[in-house]
Structure 1
Amino acid sequence: MIRGVRGAITVSVDQPEEVLKETQRLVLEMAKENNIEPDDVASVIISTTTDISSAFPAKAVRTIAEWTYVPVMCTHEMDVPGSMPLCIRVMMHVNTVLGQQDIHHIYLNEAIKLRPDLSAKSQVSST
């Protein structure tokens, strides 16, 4: 069965090095916490807030060892007034036998505020 694994992270500045580093950090943490192998991933959709435009976050995923052939696409998030700035969101579609309640969604940096209910779960498993 395919399940969605969600994640989000913020960057402190829109610079290519930081966008790529933090995107890779998020994706690797999502994979680690959910025991995801690249062959299990059907696709990855990455969105950024419109204030991120210095780099394609998909490049960060394609440069991870063994992730070269995972289909990845980038898009911009809706520009809603008052939304969290400098945020990268990931939706990973994964073949898994895990139930919805067993998926660990990962929220890092300021993005923890987006889903405190799920962030508490991921913080417990990450520590």
Structure 2
Amino acid sequence: MVEWKVRGIRGAITVPENTKDAITKAVNELIGEIEAHNKFQPEDIVSVFFTITKDLDAIFPAAVARKRPGWNYVPLIDLQQMHVSGSLKRCIRILIQINTSVPQSAIVHRYLGHAQALRPDLNIQFS
């Protein structure tokens, strides 16, 4: 019998500028990387949390994600990241909770752009 559990997949990406196009591109790149490395379907998603730094306000990341195939029924929410002096600017973070039989140690987290510095311990390089 397959044992299903809720697992969290983390990731983050930096955005070069505060525009709808730049944020849209970044959100799609980040989600695409996470989906490709973790092999799940939208039906497997429990919920998705986005946090964004206060310098990104051109579009909601959830509005971008909702346009992805199969994502229109996924529970999504956007939150403003707590500001800490000297922290990474123009950054979108994501937490995707999925139902899966994959062990936590096999989950692949993706940190892209300057966000690689946030979790170097989880940032596996792929060719």
TM-score normalized with structure 1 length: 0.94
1:22-67 CA distance string (max 9 Å, x none):
1111011111100010000011000001111111011111011111
Structure 2 distance, partners of 1:7, 1:110, is 12
CA offset at residue 92 of structure 1? 0.2
Alpha-carbon distance between aligned partners in 1 of 2:105 and 2:80, rounded to the nearest angstrom: 28
- Residue matched to 2:71: 67
Residue in structure 2 matching 1:15, options 13, 19, 31 = 19
Q: Give the share of equivalent positions with the same residue, in percent.
A: 38
Letter in 2 for 1:73: I
Q: 5+ unaligned residues in a row in structure 1: which ranges?
A: none
**Structure 2 equivalent of residue 32 of structure 1:** 36
What is the alpha-carbon distance in structure 2 between the residues aligned to residue 57 and residue 24 of structure 1?
Answer: 9
- Please give the secondary structure, in 1, of the residue aligned with 2:96: strand
Which entry has the higher C-alpha Rg, 1 or 2? 2
SS at structure 1 position matched to 2:46: strand
Using the alignment, how far apart are the partners of 2:81 and 2:91 within structure 1? 9
Partner of 2:88: 84
Equivalent of 2:113 in 99, 106, 109: 109
Q: Give how far 1:106 is off.
A: 0.4
Aligned-partner residue type, residue 48 of structure 1: I
Q: Which has the higher helix share?
A: 1
TM-score, normalised relative to structure 2: 0.94
The one-character-per-residue Cα deviations of 1:67-120 (angstroms, maximum 9, x if unpaired) are 11111100100000010000000000000111111100000111011111111x
Secondary structure (helix, strand or coil) at the match of 1:7 reads: strand
**How many residue pairs align between the two structures?**
123
Structure 2 segments unaligned to the other structure (5+ residues):
none
Residue 41 (structure 1) aligned to one of 41, 45, 68: 45
Task: Select the residue among 91, 95, 102 that pairs with 1:98.
Answer: 102
Alignment-mate amino acid for residue 31 of structure 2: V
